[in-house]
């Protein structure tokens, strides 16, 4: 696709401040805004780079229904991480044959739902990462499509908490994988192998990715030699996005080339599972400046969005760029400030930023918030979750209404004294 019409990255500066101010006026803040056209562009770039592969969107990055629908319409399959995601994706109209459910130490309740949904939606694939999960599926009478999640012993990620590949929690140990597949093939229709290194394939160092893919290629050949015919080898997601304005976007063609070379000849289709790459730069989080306080040598800018709205900075020390969208921002001098949320925790800071001198009432936009933003929002401090809107051309659609305090207390029994 034309690089001008579909640039490899959308920066925070590319958003129209005027449109963001209008959205904040119409819907209040904090407000997640997601541009579906950008999601579609990101998918098309991925699909162009991997024309021979199946692209499964990792729904955990953003489960807004319009996103699921738009990506399914583009041709993406969807990867789900829980029974809840599975139910939502199928309910959004995605065909079972385009859905993978990755069961990580699944609770009974999740397996019950998954087996029932697999019955109702033929072609659904369950990815199991432990022999026990296979046994528990068989106990439920499941004999359908299985993909085996393998622990490749290789991890990669922007933070230790997102490097899953070498974490013993995930997947069947590599040296037992071929045996596990062979024995699973007697009870199930084994259709695939899966591994995910973590979140953070970056252009600088593809060695962990190459290593993972090459091990998966070797395993696929071994499994084929043992007479198990695979449909696909899924090498996971983790395609990085530039969170800092001076970072280059990922060279997808280089990643795709390295992937093909490392996989080698296999009699199965390659599958990839991007989450953040498809949605991160399609989203911003809008928040209002509530307080501006000179404190010691610095300035603390208190905003409405905090660690309950956008958890990544507190959870992973993640960096999210910010921009002051005030109408006269360009005429103000830049100033370095600490941006902090409304939660009563010292971890509730969104980092130090150079911003057009913030004033009470200004609107700030927080970049790259389309992935793992709304999804990780929670109600700690009894704080209702924010609203989220989706832009589709000139249309603005509500994806999730703003929660109220009544939503927070709705789960409490009514007869509580
Ligand atoms: N696949 C699996 C199994 C995952 O656990 C994840 C993320 O945690 C992804 C895909 C997507 O990762 P990313 O959003 O970094 O592409």
> 312-331: per-residue pLDDT in tens?
999 999 999 999 999 999 99
Going from the Cα of 150 to the center of ligand 1, the distance in angstroms, rounded, reads 14
Going from the Cα of 275 to the center of ligand 1, the distance in angstroms, rounded, reads 6
Q: Which two tokens stand for residue 196?
A: 């995910």
Q: Which two tokens stand for residue 366?
A: 């927080």
* Statement: residue 157 has pLDDT above 90: no
Identify whether 344 is a catalytic site residue.
Answer: yes
pLDDT confidence tier of residue 197, bands split at 50, 70 and 90: confident
To test ligand 1's pocket by mutation, which of 60, 67, 233, 277 has the most ligand atoms within 8 angstroms of CB? Answer: 60
Query: Which ligand 1 atom is nearest residue 61's CA?
Result: 14
Question: Please, what is the angle between helix 65-74 and helix 83-91, to 10°?
Answer: 70
Smallest CA-to-CA distance from 148 within 189, 107, 115 is with: 189
What is d(CA 101, CA 81) in angstroms, rounded to the nearest whole number? 6
Residue-level pLDDT at 270: 98
For residues 19-23, give the mean pLDDT.
98
For tokens 């692209």, the residue is 55
For tokens 């956008």, the residue is 310
Residue-level pLDDT at 4: 65
Going from the Cα of 79 to the center of ligand 1, the distance in angstroms, rounded, reads 9
What is the pTM (predicted TM-score) of this model? 0.96
Domain extents in the chain: 36-279, 281-409
- CATH class of the domain defined by 281-409: mainly beta
Residue-level pLDDT at 109: 98
Beta-sheet pairing, 298-303 with 283-295: antiparallel
Smallest CA-to-CA distance from 134 within 161, 153, 106 is with: 106
Other CB atoms within 10 Å distance of the CB of residue 288 = 18
Beta-sheet pairing, 349-356 with 322-324: unpaired
Domain 36-279, CATH among 3.40.1260.10, 3.40.50.300, 3.40.50.720, 3.20.20.10: 3.20.20.10
Query: Which ligand 1 atom is nearest residue 240's CA?
Result: 15
Beta-sheet pairing, 77-80 with 269-272: unpaired
Three-state DSSP state, 58? strand
* Statement: residue 1 has pLDDT above 60: no
Residue-level pLDDT at 13: 95
Question: CB-based contacts of 285: which residues, under 8 Å, 6+ apart?
Answer: 30, 31, 32, 33, 305, 309, 310, 320, 365, 366, 369, 373, 386
What is d(CA 72, CA 338) in angstroms, rounded to the nearest whole number? 40
Three-state DSSP state, 54? strand
Going from the Cα of 291 to the center of ligand 1, the distance in angstroms, rounded, reads 36
Smallest CA-to-CA distance from 271 within 123, 124, 45, 54 is with: 54
Smallest CA-to-CA distance from 320 within 287, 344, 297 is with: 287
Beta-sheet pairing, 54-58 with 283-295: unpaired
Residue nearest atom 10 of ligand 1, based on CA coordinates: 237
For residues 406-410, give the mean pLDDT.
96
Q: Which residues does ligand 1 sit against, CB inside 6 Å? A: 58, 60-61, 79, 102, 164, 196, 199, 236-239, 273-277, 371
For residues 96-112, give the mean pLDDT.
97
Going from the Cα of 163 to the center of ligand 1, the distance in angstroms, rounded, reads 10
To test ligand 1's pocket by mutation, which of 43, 45, 58, 283 has the most ligand atoms within 8 angstroms of CB? Answer: 58
Query: Which ligand 1 atom is nearest residue 371's CA?
Result: 14
To test ligand 1's pocket by mutation, which of 235, 238, 315, 370 has the most ligand atoms within 8 angstroms of CB? Answer: 238
State the sign of the Cα–Cα–Cα–Cα dihedral 174, 180, 181, 182: positive
């Amino acid at each position: 696709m034309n690089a001008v019409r579909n640039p490899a990255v959308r920066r925070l500066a590319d958003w129209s401040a005027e449109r963001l101010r209008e959205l904040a006026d119409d819907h209040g803040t904090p407000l997640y805004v997601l541009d579906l056209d950008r999601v579609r562009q990101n998918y098309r770039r991925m699909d162009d780079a991997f024309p021979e592969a199946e692209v499964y969107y990792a729904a955990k990055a953003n489960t807004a229904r319009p996103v699921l629908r738009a990506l399914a319409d583009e041709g993406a399959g969807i990867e789900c991480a829980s029974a809840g995601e599975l139910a939502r994706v199928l309910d959004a109209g995605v065909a079972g044959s385009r859905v993978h459910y990755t069961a990580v130490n699944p609770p009974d309740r999740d397996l019950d739902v998954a087996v029932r949904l697999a019955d109702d939606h033929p072609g659904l694939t369950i990815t199991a990462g432990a022999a026990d999960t296979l046994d528990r599926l068989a106990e439920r009478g499941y004999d359908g499509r299985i993909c085996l999640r393998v622990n490749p012993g290789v991890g990669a990620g922007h933070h230790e908490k997102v490097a899953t590949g070498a974490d013993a929690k995930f997947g069947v140990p590599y040296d037992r994988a071929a045996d596990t597949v062979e024995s699973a093939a007697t009870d199930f229709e084994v259709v695939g192998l899966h591994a995910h290194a973590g979140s953070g394939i970056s252009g600088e160092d593809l060695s962990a990715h190459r290593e993972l893919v090459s091990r998966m290629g070797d395993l696929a050949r071994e499994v084929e030699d043992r007479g198990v015919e695979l449909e696909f080898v899924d090498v996971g997601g983790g395609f990085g996005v530039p969170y800092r304005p001076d970072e280059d976007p990922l060279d997808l063609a280089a990643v795709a080339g390295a992937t093909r070379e490392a996989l080698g000849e296999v009699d199965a289709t390659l599958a990839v599972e991007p989450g953040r790459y498809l949605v991160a730069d399609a989203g911003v989080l809008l928040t209002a400046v509530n307080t501006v306080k000179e404190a010691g040598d610095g300035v603390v800018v208190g905003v409405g969005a905090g660690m309950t709205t956008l958890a990544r900075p507190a959870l992973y020390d993640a960096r999210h760029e910010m921009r002051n969208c005030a109408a006269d921002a360009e005429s103000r001098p830049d100033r370095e400030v600490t941006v902090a949320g409304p939660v009563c925790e010292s971890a509730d800071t969104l980092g130090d930023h150079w911003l057009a001198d913030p004033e009470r009432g200004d609107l700030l936009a927080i970049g790259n918030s389309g992935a793992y933003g709304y999804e990780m929002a929670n109600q700690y401090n009894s704080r209702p979750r924010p609203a989220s809107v989706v832009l589709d051309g000139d249309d603005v659609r509500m994806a999730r209404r703003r929660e109220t305090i009544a939503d927070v207390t709705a789960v409490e029994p009514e007869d509580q004294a």
